[in-house]
Chain A
Amino acid sequence: MKKEEGMVCESMEDFIDRYANTIYRVLLQHMRNEADAQDVVQDTLIKIMKSHPCFDTIQKEKAWVLRVAINTCKDRWKYDKLRRHDELFDQYPQEEQQEWSILPYVMKLPQKYRDVIYLYYYEEYSVKEVAEILEKKEATILTWLRRARAKLKIMLEGSDWYEAL
């Protein structure tokens, strides 16, 4: 890591403590499967270790980390035909599958919508920040958010059996 004065520049171990779970969750919602997400966490951290720049704020550093994680996922999609059986749903204890639950519905959205939902609702970034992280126009992010909400709304208002979709 290149250290510059006044910049956030921590050891890789501290960095992993700070971001491992953040990276894991963004990958989880991206890959929809715990085993694949865990694989890509390591790939992402190694990529970060090789080129980790220092940032003037934690916020900028985190945004960069998320971008690297999402791009690593995209690379993985391109080169690896992953087992995309939605094992994430299997992680729920059986009785909890009966509860009203939104995560399975979010996981059913197309990947670009899941990324937007995650960054906007989970990480609570603004539309502008989401646009910067995903390297898209703000208008595109707004459209994706609107469509993602509409799709979720329809799924959540569906029947008992379609609720399982």
Chain B
Amino acid sequence: MIGMKRYKEELDRFTLTQEEITKLKQAVRQESIKQQKFIPLRYVSYASIGVCMLLFLFLQMPKNEVDNGNDKHIVTQQEANIKQVQPIAYDTNYGGFGVIKDFEMMGKRTGTANQIKQLPVYEYQRIYDMRKGSLIEEDPTYYRNWMMEVKHRLGIQGEIQEDDLHGFYVENDEMKLDFSESGDMKIHIKKVIHEPKINIEKVKTIAQEYESIYQKLASITQPSYDLSVNFLGTPIVNVQNKEDQVSSFHVSLQKLINTNSYEVIITFVDKNNLTLVKAFDLLTYEEAEQRLLHGAYYYAFASGTFTQQDIIGYQLTYIGQEETSSFRPYYLPVYRFYVQKDTRLEMYDVIAVKEEGLQQLTKKTNWSYKEK
């Protein structure tokens, strides 16, 4: 296969140094000595580990405890307003570099999120795990039936075909439907967009051309178009009814290789996969920004070196399991802060739900940060 020679060459660059190998030998030797000479102590060790684990579990219960691994205090979201903490790297499926290449930088953004006092948190019914692969493989009947319904609503005549990559697909002269691994439907528009340069406003204009699709599939009669950027710097337009709080569609452009042409991709969110937990009170923008400046944020690919002056905008948005598994099984709102570093746009997310709300989301207990 083309490129696999290169794969070997690239992986070959990663080698342990002689010093690292020597350390490994020492570690194994020490472990071996422990095995041979202190066998009775093993049982003491096991008992000690057991006691430590019980102690650790006990200490997990209160808010301020000591992490035995690095002796750094765990702080709550609220405490992160005043204490400098360690940011948390997103568990993400994306492996990109987060640089906008062919897109004009987004303009300075002014958020209006403070008008929103509460937003719902949802729980996923089907959890996407990038290490296990596609959700479509887990429940093909559900996805086939969903595609059948969409095909009918859009008047696509072709038969649904099976496909190793996307589970199923169906197409006609105008569009092709398939699935993402995380179970959302992708609508690929075959009419190609020819543009030398694309900016996010242009993506919005393009998204507005497909109102009939939003109406047919999600009964959206008064669409609102919310502009955003994903971890990779890809402009995304979120489409929803004005009164809806969660987007039904995400519109993006994929550049066709060696051209100035783009394919329009409309992602149809599988809202049946979301069960409402309840609406929670939100932090204000100012509270969220304070936490950001104290390091209480999630990031995917970012330098982590910025000042308040580098923040060019923010928005209140939801982070889906296609972007990260860090919040699963919950689908929850975050403040996404946009930071400009030279020609690079970086994104930093602060969970928007207040501390009291987070405490009710009991299936996820790792909301807290470690003090620096």
Contacts and interface: CB of A to CB of B under 8 A. Distances in A.
Interface residues of A, number: 61
A86 B95 contact: yes
Contacts of B3: 102, 152, 156
Nearest to A42: B27
Interface stretch (A2-10, A56-64, A103-111, A125-133): A103-111
A49 B32 contact: yes
Interface residues of B, number: 53
A156 B3 CA distance: 10
Interface in B119-175: 130-133, 164-165
B15 interface: yes
A161 B232 contact: yes
A17 B25 CA distance: 9
Contacts of A89: 95, 97
Nearest to A24: B16
A45 B100 CA distance: 42
Contacts, number: 142
B14 interface: yes
Nearest to A12: B28
A34 to B, nearest CB: 7
A152 to B, nearest CB: 8
A25 B11 CA distance: 7
A113 B120 CA distance: 36
B154 to A, nearest CB: 23
Given A110-B130, A154-B165, A42 B11 contact: no
B355 interface: no
A159 B254 contact: yes
B90 interface: yes
Interface in B72-90: 89-90
B165 A162 contact: no
A48 B8 CA distance: 26
A165 B255 CA distance: 13
Given A12-B32, A86-B95, 13 more contacts: A20-B16, A42-B27, A46-B31, A91-B14, A107-B95, A110-B181, A113-B133, A159-B254, A159-B255, A161-B100, A162-B234, A164-B101, A165-B94
26 contacts: A12-B25, A16-B25, A21-B15, A34-B14, A41-B24, A42-B27, A45-B27, A46-B27, A49-B32, A85-B90, A89-B97, A100-B6, A102-B3, A102-B7, A103-B11, A105-B95, A110-B131, A112-B132, A121-B8, A151-B165, A158-B255, A158-B257, A159-B254, A161-B100, A162-B254, A164-B96
Interface of A: 12-13, 16-17, 20-21, 24-25, 28-29, 34, 38, 41-42, 45-46, 49-50, 77, 81, 83-86, 89, 91, 97, 100-108, 110-113, 117-118, 121-122, 143, 146-147, 149-152, 154, 156-162, 164-165
